[in-house]
Structure 1
Amino acid sequence: MSSWEAFFNEWMPLLEAEMRAAVGEPAHPSERLFYGMLAYHLGWADAQLRPAQQDGGKRVRPMLCLLACAACGGDPARALPAAAAIELLHNFSLIHDDIQDRSETRRGRPTVWALWGIAQAINAGDALFTIAHRALWRLRERGVPAERILEVAERFDAACLMLTRGQHFDLLFEGAERVSLEEYLEMIRGKTAALLRAAAGIGARLADGPAEDLEAFGEALGMAFQIQDDLLGIWGDPVVTGKSAADDLRTRKKTLPVIFAMERIPGFAERYRDPQTPLEILLQDLERSGARAETEAMAAVFTQQAMAALERAGLRNPYGEALRDLARALLSRTR
């Protein structure tokens, strides 16, 4: 077992308990569906709203927050409310993202909107957004000074704005004929990297550590994470990823391999825009273009940038090494 996996195993139950405390439970039978949808999405209930242990996601962002706090010499328990807030905010965005992408499955299960409709799913996402912000104030119970809580909240809200800005560009790209590499990188800097940047930076701040270096680490890690996600969205195993095969091609998303293929293969952009083009043809074009290897190389570049930021932070302890192990694992993940 790697060092980061050991850390995850130790702190995951405490994180889950903090998240459950932040979300709360129905006080009246009329609230059963309201809280049940949240519990379902977070992996705590099945589609009949019965308690269950389902796949609630990797919890990478909150664990990054806790691990960064530990690597900077702090007590991860002090950062638990912030870690929970980060994961709840992430899940708010996923509920809305599934609606916007018309994705009917996530983590191998029907999405919230697919089960309960778009209107209820929007409301469930809004609820998680609010609960995420309220979760931050639980830092007071951990003895965090008010001034530091406000500092954390400011970084948290800035990341949320960046996240929604990135999602705006991602949606905008769906109707664009072409997307440049620069536009794509700016989009994922917001949609994915902003929250990982905040997670690492907030963890460092709660330990009075080198927050700027940890933010740079989190951002570069987030860029590599999203690029790897782009690869899995086309070539990932649906049994492992929990998503349909070539899901990103079906919805014609402008992911990095697609952007590279548009630059390399004459006529690919036109075929990609045509909804009648079979997925097999698009996959053949992508393989022929070398886009897969080029995308893998770019993920490696951002991983190297993340490692360089950690070196600048000077975290010479087992938790710092665990952060390095985590970065390597995320680059080679299959889900």
Structure 2
Amino acid sequence: MGAWEAFFAEWMPALEAEMQAAVGEPAAPAETLFYGMLHYHLGWVDAALRPVRLNAGKRLRPMLCLLACAAGGGDPARALPAAAAIELLHNFSLIHDDIEDRSETRRGRPTVWALWGVAQAINAGDALFTIAHQALWRLRERGVPPELVLEVAERFDAACLALTLGQHLDLAFEAAERIRVADYLQMIRGKTAALLAAALGIGARLAGRPPSPLEAFGEALGMAFQIQDDLLGIWGDPTATGKPVADDLRARKKTLPVVCAMERMPAFAERYRDPATPVEDLVRDLEACGARAEAEAMAATFTQQALEALRRADLRDPYGRALQELALSLLTRTA
């Protein structure tokens, strides 16, 4: 077991307990479904609202917050409310994303809107957004000074806004004929990288450390992570990803290699919009015009930036080593 895996195993139960305490339970029968939808999305109950433990994601963002606090010399227990708030905010965005993308499944289960309708799912997402902010105020119970709580809350809200701006751009890109690479990078900087950067920066703040190096690490990590995801969506091994080769092209998603091709080869945009264009031809176009190589080079650049920022942070081991191990595992994954 690596250093980061050992840390996750140690702190995951405490994180789940903090999240459950923040979300709460129904106080009356009329509240059963309201809380049930939240518990369902978070993996704590099944569709019949019976207690269960299901895959609800890796809890990566909150664990990065706790790791950053430990690596900065702080007590991760002090950062638990902030870590829970970060994960609840992330899940608010997922509930709304599923509605906006008309995604009927997430992690092999029906989404909240698919089970209980769009209106109820919007309300459930709004509830998680609110609860995420309430969870943050629980820092006061951990002895965090009021001025530091306010500083963390300000950083948290900035990440909220960046996250929703990223989603706005992603939705706008669906109807756009062409997208510039610079615009795409701005989108993933908000949608993917912003919350990772905030999680690490908040953890550093709660350890009494300057947040800048770890925020830089988190942003670069998020950028590289998303670009690698884009590459795997086209060229990933189906036995590892669980998806057919070039699945993102079949869905006509505008991921980074596609955006690069649109800039390099103007005719590609029209071919991409045409549903009759074979996926195999699109893959050849991406490789022939250098779009794949360009995306791979960007992923490598952001990976290097992330690792350099981590070295500048001067972190305490074994937690600094755990962050490095985790970053490398994320950036070299095949699924």
Unaligned runs of 5+ in 1: none
Deviations for 1:299-322, whole angstroms, at most 9, x for unmatched residues?
221111111111111115211111
Unaligned runs of 5+ in 2: none
Work out whether residues 38 and 128 of structure 2, in 8 Å CA contact, stay in contact via their aligned partners in 1.
yes
1:29 shift after superposition: 2.0
Paired residue for 1:69?
Answer: 69
Alpha-carbon distance in 2 for matches of 1:12, 1:115: 28
Tell me which amino acid in the other structure corresponds to 1:34. Answer: F
Alpha-carbon distance in 2 for matches of 1:279, 1:248: 10
Paired residue for 2:328?
Answer: 328
* 1:5 to 2:43 alignment: no
Work out whether residues 73 and 316 of structure 2, in 8 Å CA contact, stay in contact via their aligned partners in 1.
no
Work out whether residues 44 and 51 of structure 1, in 8 Å CA contact, stay in contact via their aligned partners in 2.
yes
Paired residue secondary structure (1:144): coil
Deviations for 1:132-162, whole angstroms, at most 9, x for unmatched residues?
0000011011110111000000000000001
Alpha-carbon distance in 2 for matches of 1:32, 1:40: 12
Work out whether residues 4 and 326 of structure 2, in 8 Å CA contact, stay in contact via their aligned partners in 1.
yes
Deviates more, 1:214-223 or 1:196-205: 214-223
Paired residue for 1:196?
Answer: 196
* 1:167 to 2:167 alignment: yes
Alpha-carbon distance in 2 for matches of 1:108, 1:58: 15
Alpha-carbon distance in 2 for matches of 1:58, 1:296: 25
Q: Identity across aligned pairs (percent)?
A: 79
TM-score normalised according to structure 1 size: 0.93
Work out whether residues 108 and 242 of structure 1, in 8 Å CA contact, stay in contact via their aligned partners in 2.
no
Distance change in 2, residues 1:107/1:234 (3 Å): farther
1:261 shift after superposition: 2.6
Tell me which amino acid in the other structure corresponds to 1:11. Answer: W
What do you get for the CA RMSD once the two structures are aligned? 2.1
Paired residue for 1:88?
Answer: 88
1:66-215 matched pairs, under 5 angstroms: 66-215=66-215
Alpha-carbon distance in 1 for matches of 2:239, 2:111: 16
Work out whether residues 213 and 309 of structure 1, in 8 Å CA contact, stay in contact via their aligned partners in 2.
yes
Alpha-carbon distance in 2 for matches of 1:142, 1:292: 48
Alpha-carbon distance in 1 for matches of 2:229, 2:27: 39
TM-score normalised according to structure 2 size: 0.93
Q: How many residues align?
A: 335
Deviations for 1:105-142, whole angstroms, at most 9, x for unmatched residues?
21122221222221111111111100100000110111
